Structure 1
């Protein structure tokens, strides 16, 4: 049975969501300016916090899609960082640096919602949290708005600003696109490292931007905090993050590109294969790509970016081997399989043009 996302999905396509307007508390503080090449004087703590959540214009930089895990910018500089396994914000602490209200001592995560402790009714807007970049450096993150998703009451979208130490200003840490110029984020339990592996870390969570694989997989129906027919979707969500980025080796390296159409289906029946032709998907043009587990592909028939299968085998030596074709059913057939893994036990499969 298909979810509300419809009969097909686009792996690299940004999810087009109406970006609500969020208004922070007005402030008399004026953002600091500098001439090209001139260093910006460090702001005091009072100046820094006074500048947060002021409803700046959307960041309209457009970066490549389809490869991002967290959906955050790779660096604060003008030059795009080539390493897709980097991000300016990859985890966040539940203990606030500066609460929006003195009564908020900490936060807790309930499903996809951040809740103030000890009083759940307290607003989080204005709260500053301590985050961490992929390089392990601290970064302050301000919650500047929260809105429940109109189509799913379980999801709360957060508008974020992170303190850019280099430029001495608050900026949206999420990667923007033409269709989503001011992206928001979901709160998701646990953290993901540069290899794409998920770990439960006490006191930490992830603010996953809407243009990244973590959030896309949730929107496709794989909520890691939920269950389907009594079975947890946590591992299925993790397998989806590998599949969305074509991370065959489970090392965080993607093999896809922007706006690549795919069709996915899983063992639990959250999504089933698309059989009807539409403007978004033609099943007759598609062929089986791979079967997926939480730590990468269990078997492959082809690559999404059309490189030779041998290149994947060289990327992670000893992980895959060629052998007799393995029939998975419904016309899906593997020609390269994971050593020591059963292709038929995969959580998720997909087809691609």
Structure 2
């Protein structure tokens, strides 16, 4: 089966720990306890493709993939983050001669470029001024740069942010079992608390591996890329809504971990899966929703099983009953966005749907 037709699971399995290029760093890596790996385990991993797959164990609630707060005991909203934007001008600290950084084509470049020629490591050691979702400043250090093996033009960055609570440098990215030391991609612009993307000159987002922004890029929707002359920026933004089941376009997710979905689009970046695999069985899936950059355009049912009426209370006047005027080939919706015609969507997805409740035990006569 072609990778373009594989069903998508929320937490993308990235080549973070196997097969990635060694990090380029201006300071020694912290000493960590090394796990003992037997020869049998080590040899079992030989000769295997280490390129990024679109199938992995899921999660799906994080947009940036960053920690919500430096204080783990503090109640937080899912729309908060310790780091939402980074300014590229006027670094707080940089290598000699570097006056600013520039974002282009999925990576950062030193300004002015070195006379010997630009490399990914030119920006390592730079400390930039960032901002948290509450508007407070936070310094961000670039500690390493790792070109992606499957696409060397795209660079993953090892970053640390200054934790003003603990008074130490710390990786702001949320670690999960599959990616215990997550990296970040540099992405142009800023995402606000509603999940909307805003173009901002000389500002980027450091999007962590376990968040929707980065996962959608690795799935194929890099916002700086194009396909058949059409920019993928809109598809990427729609994907960030889809990946988190943000139906109302308000930044709130409606999904659980371990939820499998299948994504497809009209450009053919991702095609609908038709063959059963260990992770996905198309015969058990059904249409869930269609998506635009600002949320769902039509909805058949919710992904997490909550009543559709409950969801509609979250964004009243946004949806109405589907008038049923869509072409027969289009999956049937239960509700459709007010004022949005069929065909306006950029992405569509299938999912298994909520599990059916167990039947009550039969009463004895």
Q: Is the 8 A contact 1:74 1:81 kept in 2?
A: no
Q: Which moved more, 1:242-251 or 1:79-88?
A: 79-88
- Residue 83 of structure 1 deviates from its aligned partner by 1.0
Which residue does the alignment assign to 2:284? 285
Q: Which whole-Å deviations, capped at 9, do the CAs of 1:241-273 have from their partners, x for residues lacking one? A: 000000000000110111210001112111111
1:232 alignment partner in structure 2: 231
- 2:41 is matched with which residue? none
Shift of 1:54: 4.4
Instruction: Give 1:65's match in structure 2, choosing from 49, 52, 59.
Output: 59
Q: Could you report, residue by residue, the CA deviation over 1:43-92 in whole angstroms, capped at 9, with x for unpaired residues?
A: xxxxxxxxxx743649xxxxx93110000000111226441101100100
Number of equivalenced pairs: 320
Instruction: Name the CA shift for 1:235/1:321 in 2 (closer, same or farther; >3 Å).
Output: same
The residue aligned with 2:16 is 18
Q: Which among 89, 96, 100 is matched to residue 102 of structure 1?
A: 96
Post-superposition shift, 1:320? 0.4
Question: Measured at CA, do residues 326 and 80 of structure 1 come closer, stay the same or move farther in structure 2, by a change above 3 Å?
Answer: farther
CA distance in 1, matches of 2:301, 2:327: 15
Rounded Cα–Cα distance in structure 2 between residues aligned with 1:285 and 1:135: 43
Q: How has the CA–CA distance of structure 1 residues 283 and 327 changed in structure 2, closer, same or farther, with 3 Å as cutoff?
A: farther
C-alpha contact 1:22 1:55 (8 A) present in aligned 2: no
1:18–1:249 CA distance, 2 compared to 1 (3 A):
same
The alignment partner of 1:176 has SS state of: coil
Which residue of 1 is the match for residue 359 of structure 2?
Answer: none
Compute the displacement of 1:335 (Å).
1.3
| Superposition pairs of residues 77-156 of structure 1, within 5 angstroms | 77-79=71-73, 81-119=75-113, 121=118, 123-156=122-155
- Local SS of the residue matching 2:332: strand
1:176-213 Cα offsets, whole Å, 9 max, x none, are 00111100000001100000000101111111001000
- Residue 232 to residue 119, structure 1, CA distance change in 2 (3 Å): same
- Distance in 2, Cα, partners of 1:285 & 1:309: 21
Q: Which runs of 5+ in 1 are unaligned?
A: 27-52, 59-63
TM-aligned CA deviation for residue 327 of structure 1? 4.1
The answer to whether the 8 Å contact 2:88/2:202 transfers is yes
Residues 238, 345 of structure 1: CA spacing in aligned structure 2 closer, same or farther, 3 A cutoff? same
Q: What RMSD in Å do the two structures reach over aligned CA positions? A: 2.0
Q: Equivalent residue for 2:179? A: 180
Q: TM-score, structure 2 length as denominator?
A: 0.83
TM superposition score normalised by structure 1? 0.86
Flag structure 2 segments of 5+ consecutive residues without an equivalent: 34-57, 353-365
Counterpart in 2 of 1:197? 196
Q: Which residue of 1 aligns with 2:358?
A: none
Q: Distance in 2 between matches of 1:245 and 1:66?
A: 5
